[in-house]
Copies of this chain bind each other. A is one copy, B any other.
Amino acid sequence: MVGSPTAVEHVERTGGIQIDVPAQPGYLALVRMLVHTLAQRRDLDDERIEDLVLAVSEACGWVVGSRLTTDSPRPVQVRWSESEDGCVIEVTDTTSHDGDAPSVPAPDEVELPPDPGRAALEGELSLPLVLALVDEVTSSAGPNGSSVHITVNCGPWDGQPST
């Protein structure tokens, strides 16, 4: 795990926030609440905040879903970073190995399933939904696990939370 960015390093680098929760369905609501609270402090209207919260929740669901068969105790890691013109939420599956980036197609390559009913039953609506809700979705793999990065463009702080 040499070079693995720890929570401490993440916050130092970005001034951001990291939360680690068990990869279990019951913790998604907690992540949503956190993202909601953090997003409210940016120049985002209610609808865009709810879109972002849903997108992050879906991405956490991918990790939780992939665990239902493995029973691994490794957490889902959610990192919130922000800059003047946007926020990036990184959802990391800490069981994945180096080089194991989840493949997130470019939004224009994702077509709405021709049969949304069948797609809903097969759990295939999640990715198109996320891509429609936020400004950018990318993925990466690192020593820490494989991550989905969700970006929402928005104005700066409405009120700086620092001293």
Q: Which residues of A contact B (CB under 8 A)?
A: 1, 4, 6-8, 10-12, 15-22, 24-27, 30, 33-34, 37-38, 68, 73-75, 77, 94, 160-163
Once the chains bind, are A25 and B162 in contact (CB under 8 Å)?
A: yes
Identical chains in the assembly: 2
Q: Is the interface of A mostly helix, strand, loop or mixed?
A: mixed
Once the chains bind, are A162 and B22 in contact (CB under 8 Å)?
A: yes
CA distance A38 to B24 in the complex (A): 15
Do A12 and B75 contact each other (CB < 8 Å), given the known contacts A18-B7, A37-B30, A37-B33? yes
CA distance A145 to B19 in the complex (A): 18
Taking the closest CB of chain B, its distance from the CB of A74, in whole angstroms, is 6
The chain B residue with its CB closest to the CB of A11 is B75
